[in-house]
Amino acid sequence: MTAARNADELEAQADALQQQEDERIGMVTVDSAYLFTAPVQWLEPGTTLTWVNESGSHSTTAYASANDRPDRIPANAEAWDSGVLTEEGATFEHTFDEEGVYDYYCTPHESLGMVARLVVGTPNIENSPALAEPQSSLPDTAQEIIRGLNTLTVPMVGGN
Ligand SMILES: [Cu+2]
C-alpha cells in the first residue's frame, strides 16, 4: 500500500516537472534575431504559461481587438498584453482556460516576425480565427510566419 502510494506520488512529481517545463516560453534576442523559444506550444486547458525575458526587450501580446489587432484568439478568450519587458529574467503569466488556437506577437518586433502560436486542448476548427489566412493589415513578415504556423497546425486540428 505504501509502495503504491509512493509510486503515485512519484508519478505526480514527474507530471509536475514535465508540466513545469512545458509552461515556460523564453523571449530572446540572438544576434539580429528576435524570437519566442517555442513557435508553437500545446497546452492543457487551465495551464498557466510563463513567458521569460531571456535577453533584449520584448512583449507577449495577443492578436486581439483589445490590442488594436485582428482577433486571432478564440471568441470567448481573454486577451493579454505584458507590455514591453526590458529586464533579463522578467516574467509575465497568463492562464489559458478556453480551448483553442491563440496567435500572439511581440510589440517591438512584430514587423520582424516575432510571432508565435499556442494550441490549448482540442480546438474547434470552426471557432479558431487563428487558423484563417493572416489579415493584410499585419506586417508582411508576421503574415509570412502565420502562414507557416497554419501549415504546421491546421492538419493537427483536423483541417486541411
Ligand atoms: Cu521581441
Q: What is the pLDDT of residue 160?
A: 60
pLDDT (average), residues 37-44: 94
Q: How far is the CA of 26 from the centre of ligand 1 (A)?
A: 10
Distance from the CA of 112 to the center of ligand 1, in angstroms? 9
35 CA distance to ligand 1 centroid (A)? 6
> If you average pLDDT over residues 63-85, what whole number do you get?
97
Q: What is the pLDDT of residue 17?
A: 57
Check residue 27 and give its pLDDT.
Answer: 98
- The grid coordinates of residue 44 equal 492543457
Sketch the domain layout of the chain as residue ranges: 24-157
Residue 4 has pLDDT above 70, yes or no: no
Q: What is the whole-number distance in angstroms between the Cα of residue 10 and the centre of ligand 1?
A: 38
Centre of ligand 1 to C-alpha 18, Å, is: 26
> How many Å lie between the centroid of ligand 1 and the Cα of residue 139?
14
Please choose, from the candidates 141, 107, 143, 103, the residue with its C-alpha nearest in 3D space to the C-alpha of residue 119: 103
Q: What is the mean pLDDT of residues 146-158?
A: 89
Q: What is the mean pLDDT of residues 86-91?
A: 97
User: E strands of 31-158, at which residues?
Assistant: 33-36, 40-43, 47-53, 61-62, 91-96, 100-105, 115-120
- The predicted pLDDT at position 14 comes to 64
User: Quick count: other Cβ atoms within 10 Å of Cβ 2?
Assistant: 6
Say which CATH topology domain 24-157 has. Answer: Immunoglobulin-like (2.60.40)
Amino acid 19: pLDDT: 53
